[in-house]
Structure 1
Amino acid sequence: MTRIKRGYIARKHRTKTRLFTSSFRSKLTISQQKIKALVSAHRDRDRKKRDFRRLWISRINAVIRENKNEKYYSYSIFMYNYTRGSCFLIVKYLHK
């Protein structure tokens, strides 16, 4: 079987991986750091959604408590009454 030189393709792959983790030199630490970075990015995308939703809920709750309405005095009661009236809202837009 003839020898196949993978010069261009392999070099392109290694360069792309090295650019992703620029401060590491050996192949093992580069690949480990790349996996760790991708795992962290995936985890933090989900965490960002949770954090923003928590922020929006706390802002809405503060406005409801500030107005001191007799009917709604907390976020949970407000949302219960709002959805019971078959109205649906997006919390993201309500906090503004």
Structure 2
Amino acid sequence: MNLLIIRLIIFAVLFFAGLKLYSMYREWKLDREELLDHDTGDSDANQIVRCTYCKVHLPENDALRERGEWFCSSAHRDKYLEEQKDE
């Protein structure tokens, strides 16, 4: 009977130690990801802009800018600028 209680106590201690280590790992991982996000400095990279021609939303990194307007492709940029010349 005493051996069973000792095994149970050892198991409980190991279980709680494992839980504590796991929670410390998760906290470290979240802190590390947060630091990496702040270090990149890409606050403008996450901006969403709208194509002036077709009104589609896309990330600023993928967009083209011409004369203060945003475009999703060079074809839309050219079509828009062509229409502006006609007016």
Q: Tell me the TM-score normalized by structure 1.
A: 0.36
By percentage of residues, which structure has more helix? 1
Q: Which has the larger Rg?
A: 2
By percentage of residues, which structure has more strand? 2
* Highest RCO, 1 vs 2 (Cα 8 Å, sep ≥ 6): 1
